A and B are shown apart, each in its own frame.
Chain A
Amino acid sequence: MTEEFRTVIGLEIHVQLNTRAKMFCGCDNNAEGKEPNTVVCPVCMGMPGTLPVASREAIEKTIKLGLALGCEIPKISKFDRKHYFYPDLPKGYQISQYDQPFCKGGQIELESGTVKLNRVHLEEDAGKLVHPKGSKYSIVDLNRAGTPLLEIVSEPDITSPAMAKDYMKELHLILRNLRISDADMEKGQMRCDANISVQLKGERRKGKVASSPIVEIKNLNSFRFVEKALAHEEKKLQEEFEKWPEKKTKLTHGFDSNRGTTYPMREKEEAKDYRYFPEPDVPPFDLTRFPIEKWKKELPKLPSHHRARLSELGLTKEEANIIAKDDTIKDVIENVAEKNKAIIGKLLINNVEARKLSIEALNQIADTIRDGSPSNWVRDMIRRSVKSGKLPLEIVKETKGLAPSSEEISEKTKEFTKFLISENPDVVQKHKAGKAGALEFLIGQGMKMTKGTVNPKELREELVKQLEEEKR
Chain B
Amino acid sequence: MLKKEDVEHVAKLSRLELSDAEIEKFTPQLSSVFEMFEKLDAEDLKNVEETSQVTGLENVTREDEIKCLDDLTCCTTEELLKNIPIKESSSILVPKVIEDK
Give the B-binding residues of A (Cβ under 8 A).
19-21, 25-29, 35-38, 40-43, 45, 50-51, 53-59, 83-87, 129, 131, 133-142, 266, 269, 273, 277-278, 280, 282-286, 289-290
Contact B96 A289 (CB under 8 A): no
Contact A139 B62 (CB under 8 A): no
Give residues of chain B (52-80) contacting chain A, Cβ–Cβ below 8 Å: 52-55, 57-69, 72-75, 77, 80
Take A43-B73, A55-B62, A278-B53 as given contacts and tell me if A136 and B96 are in contact as well, using a CB distance cutoff of 8 Å: yes
The residue that B73 contacts in the complex, of A50, A136, A138, A289, with Cβ under 8 A, is A50
Contact B64 A283 (CB under 8 A): no
**Secondary structure of the A side of the interface?**
loop
User: Which of B17-25, B26-34, B41-49, B87-95 lines the interface with chain A?
Assistant: B87-95
> In the bound complex, what is the Cα–Cα distance between A29 and B81 (angstroms)?
20
Contact B66 A37 (CB under 8 A): no
> In the bound complex, what is the Cα–Cα distance between A136 and B88 (angstroms)?
13
**Secondary structure of the B side of the interface?**
loop
Contact B52 A137 (CB under 8 A): no
Take A129-B97, A131-B97, A273-B13 as given contacts and tell me if A37 and B77 are in contact as well, using a CB distance cutoff of 8 Å: yes
Q: Which residues of A contact B63 (CB under 8 A)?
A: 56-57
Q: Chain A residue with minimal CB distance to B68?
A: A26
Take A26-B69, A42-B72 as given contacts and tell me if A84 and B55 are in contact as well, using a CB distance cutoff of 8 Å: no
The residue that B64 contacts in the complex, of A36, A55, A84, A86, with Cβ under 8 A, is A55
Q: Which residues of A contact B55 (CB under 8 A)?
A: 283
Q: Which residues of B contact A87 (CB under 8 A)?
A: 92, 94, 97
The residue that A35 contacts in the complex, of B58, B73, B89, with Cβ under 8 A, is B89
- With A54-B62, A139-B88, A141-B91 known, 16 other A-B pairs at CB within 8 A are A20-B65, A26-B65, A26-B68, A36-B92, A37-B90, A40-B80, A43-B73, A53-B69, A83-B13, A87-B97, A131-B96, A140-B92, A269-B13, A280-B53, A289-B58, A289-B59
Q: Chain A residue with minimal CB distance to B76?
A: A38
Q: Chain B residue with minimal CB distance to A34?
A: B90
Quote the shortest CB–CB distance from A47 to chain B (angstroms). 8
- The answer to whether B1 has its CB under 8 Å from any CB of chain A is no
